[in-house]
């Protein structure tokens, strides 16, 4: 009789399945990418992604967020410099 230690992939241990578990359902894209050579993988992953089509409201929200980040950054820099004196 052999005693088996529980592993990460052991369903009896209650552990979660890891990313490359053969029992996990896969997408066709995941399956295809595993068969690429290294240079093919680099070429496939370095292709640019199309710009997302955003509504005018979403664009305005993103610009507002950018302005907010710049203003807060300036406030932090000012406070840091002011505290040096």
Rounded Cα gap, residues 82 and 76, in angstroms: 10
Per-residue pLDDT reduced to its tens digit, 23-61: 665 665 566 667 777 787 778 777 888 889 999 999 999
Residues 73 and 31: their CA atoms lie apart, in Å, by 44
As a whole number of angstroms, the distance between CA 63 and CA 58 comes to 9
Note the pLDDT of residue 61: 98
Domain boundaries, the chain: 59-85
pLDDT digits (tens, 9 = 90+) for 41-51: 778 777 888 88
Q: What pTM, to 2 d.p., does this model score?
A: 0.46
Distance CA 45, CA 32 (A): 13
């Amino acid at each position: 009789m052999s005693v088996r230690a529980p592993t990460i992939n052991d369903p009896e241990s209650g552990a979660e399945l890891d990313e490359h578990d053969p029992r996990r359902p896969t997408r066709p894209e995941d399956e295809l990418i595993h068969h690429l050579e290294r240079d093919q993988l680099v070429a496939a992953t370095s292709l640019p992604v199309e710009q997302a089509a955003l509504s005018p409201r979403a664009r305005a929200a993103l610009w507002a967020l950018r302005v907010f980040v710049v203003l807060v950054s300036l406030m932090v820099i000012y406070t840091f410099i002011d505290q040096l004196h």
